[in-house]
Structure 1
Amino acid sequence: MAAFNEGYTKGVGDLELSFIPVRNLKVRPKSYGYEEALDLTGHGRYNRGLLLACFMVITAMGIDIFGLGIIVTAATCDLGMDLQQIGVLSSMPFAGIIVMSYPWGYLSDTRGRKLVLMWAMGGSFVSAVLSSFAPNWQTLAALRFIGSALSSAAESATYALLGECCTARVRARYMLLMTSALMLTPTIYYILGYLITKLNFSTPLLFIVYRPWRLLTLVMALPLGLGALCLHFYAESPKFLANVGRTKEAVDVLRDMYEKNGGLGEYPVKQIYLEDGNKEEVGVFSFKSLWTQIAPLFQAPLLWRTLLLYYLTFVIYIANNSFAIILPTIFNVFFTSYASSDAGAGFCDLFAAGNSGNATNEDVPITSECVNTINDNTIWAGCAHGFSFFVLNALISQCAGKRKVMSIVIMLVAAAAAVTIDNTGEALSGLVLFYVFLTTAMVFGVVSSYFVDLYPTSYRGMVACVGMMVARLSAFAGTNVVSRAMTDHCSSALYGAAGLLISGAVALALLPTRDLRMT
């Protein structure tokens, strides 16, 4: 009996001891994948506010870069510029974008999306304000080069920041809405140009004479500062923070998003991990890091999609921006020639007539009186173009789930319009078809969304910035070709654009629909 009691007591003691470690164990919290943790933050006030802030940044960049044409037109007489100097000054934004595309991509991926945007937009604001006091066109060109080089960071970093802070359910729609900002910018700077250049004042100020174009430059700089200010109230991309090893900060940002989106109770996520893993040397500046940043884009398994996406970027921007950049000139020539043209004149006939008319005036000296040279019809046509495309893009964004099919249809319809423009036998119908051709701008947002969807976090900023370099190089080259071809080879330029769009539609069809990751 004693033996039994001893054995029983020992057994009970062993049983009690067996529970002690279980009671004292610290249960590790569940680790969530980033997309799962992001989904738990929901969709609400934080996401919509960030969308508006990024919308402001993109709008400011578009006004800063593409609105220069209005400024140059209004400042031509005051700064005593000839056509060659106007060409150099007008090309400064593209030069700035080309030079800074790679550095911005590197900095965005290694230092942070928000940090890059804050410094870039703030610096661009300062440069744009200073350019309104430029004493000569050379100083204006230098300051616009610096300003556009800085503001060009917005074209990639905003998409990465917004895309990484929005759930997959709304991400594609938000990307397309961002493109609406670019569609809206022509309306803004055309209206500003119309209202301000109609003013008539001339005030001596130190070493310059302050005229309306300088006020216009100053007013157009304000969105840059407002964009930087808006971003101040939002956090860095939590996915970027996790990617560089700052996971605690990333969880804190996600928790803040959850609370601001109206989440009930405590945010359940304590630890997160990235599905596509961390990249070595992120945040460490070295030539090896620079090579690490770009080399994987042109290696398996990313090589094929990179080539397709960059070719699509080349096609879209050379087909659209080559014409859109000189759109004020196209409108001016069209409306000037249409009033005196024959009833049967086609779209391209007006440009040949306009060229012959200009040739007779090449040797006419510039008068000493500085007058506004912005044609009213050009202003209203530009406003209609910008606003209608803004509305159209906003409507298309509601069909973001069909973005691939929708984009292919847009490109094929635009190609058909380009072929038909000069074959209607009537100029106004040709102008309408030309508007249809310019709807290729609707594909910009789709291309930008693919930069986010098809690449791991560590390479998104870089692939987007190099893509923008491809875009601006193609636009720069295409603009020079189109501006010369529109007078004598207008039809050939449009046919060539149609052929490129068809090949671009094929490239888009071959792109993967989903993120294949780096597997």
Structure 2
Amino acid sequence: MAEVNKSYVQSETDVEMYSVGDKIKGVPKAYGYEEALDLTGHGRYNIGLLLACFMLITAMGIDIFGLGIIVTAATCDLSLTLQQIGVLSSMPFAGIIVMSYPWGYLSDTRGRKLVLMWAMCGSFVSALLSSLAPTWQALAALRFIGSALSSAAESATYALLGECCNSRVRARYMLLMTSALMLTPTIYYIWGYLIMKLNFSIPFLGIVFRPWRLLTLVMALPLGLGALLLHFYCESPKFLVNVGRKEEALLNLKKMYVKNGGAGPEYPVQDVYLEEGNKEDVGVFSLRSLWTQIAPLFKPPLLWRTLLLYYLTFVTYIANNSFAIILPTIFNVFFTSYATSDADAGFCDLFADANTASAETNQTVTVVEECRNTINDNTIWAGCAHGFSFFLLNALISQCAGKRKMLMIVILVVAAAAAVGIDNTGEPISGLVLFYVYLTTAMVFGVISSYFVDLFPTSYRGMVACLGMMVARLSAFAGTNVVGRAMTTQCSAALYGAAGLVLSGAIAAALLPTGDLQTTLT
């Protein structure tokens, strides 16, 4: 036993040898990664990393979903037609669809933190430049680039945070991260309200600098701030172990231990291994490694969970984002029509009335309305209430992270019931309340993301999450076009269809495993 080899463990037999061997002077005990992570404790490092990742997700949400306010405010200045507004509004989805696969691959091969730093800094620069765009084509191109870069935060932050927090708090932190997306509408609606109340025109570099350009600058700041905060934290030790960089992983684990209040020399881990095994060739950039990253996701034993989670992703994002993207328009139509509607009008009747009025209204009047460079106050307050209330609700739900499967089923069933009731209450306000309840499908996003972290090996975690985001945005892109037309002519049918889809998601959620990676792969 005195000659116990210090090569790192790959099997249970090796672990047993080390457990005995650590009694011999000079031979370290090998710790599984989860055990080594638990020994770092939970404290300032984990909370600080949560805040940094929270900022990154918030920045991404503002960059992508806040574009609607920018486009509305820039309509007059850039002489936008309705068709051009549609093209501009679709740019974030196009950017995400194009870059989801590359970000997943790079996150799993080059590192979570590295990808996030480069992506968020690039998105920050692109967002700044978009405030100086002289034409709508330049604005569209820069927003496409910016959203393509910032979309890296959607999966890489979850992977980084999940791999740096112990199992006791991991699921709760994943749900808290989703709270960041819930908070973003409140932030950019308030900024839009305050900034668009200003009135100035400053000639600058061949353009006229107006309030919407200042709003674009302000909305870019969280991207830079998020990258700055992340600079003070380490690369995921689990990723480093997985690609064979164990010395760096051990150093990062010790840094985490110290920041959490421990004394460096007291950290006992001198050797660490991954319970599911590691793949040291995964960090090598090649076409073979590119195929290696994606092929196992669609083969047993990962195939079933891949399809199940992707279907859940498809359902929740098409059901929620299809309505959420045009939420300002829905609010505007609702409040405008409600003031002149009949007493017995239902929720969908308001949209039918608005469609009729729009067809009878001169095109010039519509253009004048769009060129006032202001944002409707009712839309602002409704958007703020939506974002802030969902942020608080998601924070409360995160306390029930231990029952996430049941939580997801309950949310989807309640949302499906709400969708059925929206146009059957007999009056608009209660329909609007049920519409808010239906939008709680957004609470499921974080639960699905936590399953991506728990049910897949480290080597494929970033890839499966990024491909999931591609599924999400493709479904949202398609759903937005369908819902945008259906709300005025087939509102009831759209809501009933959404209810059926969400209910099928609840059935799919019931098929999810109850354990984590260690219990479901063995």
Class of the TM-score when normalised by the shorter of the 2 chains: over 0.9
Aligned to 2:342: 342
SS at match of 2:469: helix
SS at match of 1:164: helix
1:371: how far off? 1.9
Contact 2:457 2:517 in 1 (8 A): no
1:232: how far off? 0.3
SS at match of 1:364: helix
1:96 aligns with 2:95: yes
1:204: how far off? 0.9
Contact 2:52 2:229 in 1 (8 A): yes
1:515: how far off? 2.3
Deviations 1:75-106 (A, max 9, x none): 00100000000000000000000000000000
Quote the Cα distance in structure 2 between the aligned partners of 1:91 and 1:182. Answer: 19
1:421 aligns with 2:426: no
1:186 aligns with 2:185: yes
Percent identity reads 82
Contact 2:127 2:216 in 1 (8 A): yes
Aligned to 1:478: 479
Aligned to 2:400: 399
Paired letter, 1:217: T
Aligned to 1:430: 431
SS at match of 2:364: coil
Structure 1 portions without partners, runs of 5+: 1-21
Aligned to 2:17: none
Aligned to 2:38: 39
1:26: how far off? 4.9
Paired letter, 1:38: L
Aligned to 1:202: 201
Quote the Cα distance in structure 2 between the aligned partners of 1:117 and 1:369. Answer: 37
1:368: how far off? 11
Deviations 1:237-283 (A, max 9, x none): 00001011000110111111111101256100000001111125211
Quote the Cα distance in structure 2 between the aligned partners of 1:282 and 1:418. Answer: 45
1:130: how far off? 0.1
CA RMSD of aligned residues (A): 1.4
SS at match of 2:164: coil
Aligned to 2:441: 440
1:370: how far off? 4.4
Aligned to 1:268: 268
Quote the Cα distance in structure 2 between the aligned partners of 1:58 and 1:274. Answer: 28
Quote the Cα distance in structure 2 between the aligned partners of 1:27 and 1:369. Answer: 75
Aligned to 1:297: 297
Paired letter, 2:340: S
1:363: how far off? 2.7
The alpha-carbon distance between structure 1 residues 251 and 481, as it changes in their structure 2 partners (threshold 3 A), is same
Paired letter, 2:95: G
Aligned to 1:281: 281
- TM superposition score normalised by structure 2: 0.93
Quote the Cα distance in structure 2 between the aligned partners of 1:476 and 1:289. Answer: 30
Paired letter, 1:165: C
1:120 aligns with 2:144: no
Quote the Cα distance in structure 2 between the aligned partners of 1:161 and 1:352. Answer: 47
Aligned to 2:129: 130
1:206: how far off? 2.1
Deviations 1:170-193 (A, max 9, x none): 000000000000000000000000
More off after superposition, 212-221 vs 501-510 = 501-510
Aligned to 2:501: 500
Contact 2:39 2:257 in 1 (8 A): yes
Aligned to 1:387: 388
Contact 2:244 2:280 in 1 (8 A): no
1:369: how far off? 10
1:364: how far off? 1.9
1:59 aligns with 2:58: yes
Paired letter, 1:94: F
More off after superposition, 492-501 vs 281-290 = 281-290
Aligned to 1:143: 142
1:286: how far off? 1.4
Structure 2 portions without partners, runs of 5+: 1-20
Paired letter, 1:296: P
1:71: how far off? 0.2
Contact 2:75 2:370 in 1 (8 A): no
Aligned to 1:17: none
Paired letter, 1:505: A
1:362: how far off? 5.2
Quote the Cα distance in structure 1 between the aligned partners of 2:395 and 2:306. Answer: 28
SS at match of 1:204: strand
1:340: how far off? 0.2
Quote the Cα distance in structure 1 between the aligned partners of 2:211 and 2:175. Answer: 35
Quote the Cα distance in structure 1 between the aligned partners of 2:443 and 2:369. Answer: 43
SS at match of 2:262: coil
Quote the Cα distance in structure 2 between the aligned partners of 1:110 and 1:138. Answer: 34
Quote the Cα distance in structure 2 between the aligned partners of 1:192 and 1:363. Answer: 30
SS at match of 1:272: strand
Paired letter, 2:353: A
Paired letter, 1:351: F
Deviations 1:399-433 (A, max 9, x none): 11011101100100000000000000000000000
Deviations 1:52-72 (A, max 9, x none): 000000000000000000000
The alpha-carbon distance between structure 1 residues 462 and 338, as it changes in their structure 2 partners (threshold 3 A), is same
The alpha-carbon distance between structure 1 residues 147 and 362, as it changes in their structure 2 partners (threshold 3 A), is farther
Aligned to 2:457: 456
Quote the Cα distance in structure 1 between the aligned partners of 2:253 and 2:87. Answer: 47
Deviations 1:4-60 (A, max 9, x none): xxxxxxxxxxxxxxxxxx9xx753100000000000001000000000000000000
Quote the Cα distance in structure 2 between the aligned partners of 1:287 and 1:503. Answer: 37
Deviations 1:197-224 (A, max 9, x none): 0100011112100000000000000000
Aligned to 2:12: none
Quote the Cα distance in structure 1 between the aligned partners of 2:145 and 2:363. Answer: 34
- TM superposition score normalised by structure 1: 0.94
Aligned to 1:239: 238
